Amino acid sequence: MIQWYPGHMVKARREIEQNLKVVDIVIMLLDARAPLACRNPELEQMIRQKSLILVLNKADLAEARSTSRSKAYLKRQGYWVAAMDSLHCRGSKEVLDLIKKAYSPVAAVMMQKGRRVRPVRVMVVGVPNVGKSSFINCLAGRKIARVGEKPGITRGRQWLRIREDIELMDTPGLMWPKIEDEKQGLKLALLNIIGENAYQEYDVARYLVEVLKQGHPDVLRERYRVQNVDLPEEEILAAIATARGLLSKGGQIDLDKVSRLVLQEYRRGAMGSISLE
């Protein structure tokens, strides 16, 4: 069980609760590689009275078939769902269309009352490091939100006018207090969503090797020159360390270095598009 709920998470939760009163729509970003693992049950409970759009972000790092299945599953649950690659700004039109659809009943009521239709107010939420700032910059077509490198860094409230008819509120990444499911915790750690002090990199690297063995053995053979992909995960990591020269001064396998290497290469997409769900 992973426990990771530092003090600034309490502050972030309180901030989101207070600001919900003034927004029309909530967009929840999920990492497309493991969207179900990224769903924050506490956050969904908080925003249950608001129109909710789920955006599977970082779709460029996920397998297209897995993303399609996840979208279909979430749509069957009754959500508006879109997939997006915020880094390369692909998929923004689908998101903007969903915002328009979700806001249309509210706009219709304003027009019926003879009032001017004001810009839609959208709150962007999600777990840490899911790409909220990149998402906002993409929708705006310019860099207006600051991009934080470390998960869970509170940057304070930002109201951002991205178009004449849309105002966005950026919020700090929010986790829930306890991750009871070990596999879910490993996925979140692998995606760099929970802070590095909450897990051992070696354990997460072993989980990644297990994922590669089951679904992407060619990555082990071709990228890391592992001849026998049926070896135990720890032996495969040792083989990668040897092939890459990741040894300590005494010539021993440096497990810390090889673990960090494979995690970093997965996170930046160097292994290709690999989904966890």
Which domains can be identified in the chain, with CATH numbers? 2-178 (3.40.50.300), 200-267 (1.10.1580.10)
In this prediction, residue 160 has a pLDDT band, given cuts at 50, 70 and 90, of confident
17: exposed, middle or buried (Cβ count in 10 Å: 0-12, 13-18, 19+): exposed
Q: Cite the beta strand spans of 101-180 per DSSP E.
A: 120-126, 158-163, 166-170, 178-179
**Each residue of 202-251: pLDDT tens digit?**
999 999 999 999 999 999 999 999 999 999 999 999 999 999 999 988 88
pTM of the prediction?
A: 0.88
**Each residue of 108-139: pLDDT tens digit?**
999 999 999 999 999 999 998 999 989 999 99
State the pLDDT at residue 52: 96
CA distances from 16 to 6, 98, 124, 125, 140 (A): 16, 22, 10, 8, 22
Q: DSSP string of 88-103?
A: TTBSHHHHHHHHHHHH
Q: For residues 127 and 193, what is the distance between their CA atoms, to the nearest angstrom?
A: 7
In this prediction, residue 16 has a pLDDT band, given cuts at 50, 70 and 90, of confident
Mean pLDDT score, 49-69: 97
State the pLDDT at residue 154: 40
Q: For residues 94 and 81, what is the distance between their CA atoms, to the nearest angstrom?
A: 9
* Helix, strand or coil, per DSSP, at residue 132: helix
Mean pLDDT score, 172-200: 87
Beta bridge partners of 81: 54
Alpha helices (H) in 35-142, listed in sequence order: 41-46, 64-76, 92-112, 132-140
pLDDT at 151 over 70: no
Q: Which residue type sits at 177?
A: P
Mean pLDDT of the residues in the chain: 90
**Each residue of 260-275: pLDDT tens digit?**
999 999 999 999 999 9
Lowest-pLDDT range, 154-158, 169-173, 190-194, 227-231? Answer: 154-158
Torsion angle of the four alpha carbons 38, 39, 41, 42, in this order, in degrees rounded to the nearest 10: 70
Largest CA distance in the chain: 79
Query: What is the sign of the dihedral through the CA atoms of 88, 93, 94 and 99?
Result: positive
In this prediction, residue 172 has a pLDDT band, given cuts at 50, 70 and 90, of confident
State the pLDDT at residue 101: 96
**Each residue of 73-91: pLDDT tens digit?**
999 999 999 999 999 999 9
**Each residue of 25-36: pLDDT tens digit?**
999 999 999 999
Mean pLDDT score, 12-24: 87
Q: Which residue has the higher pLDDT, 184 or 41?
A: 184
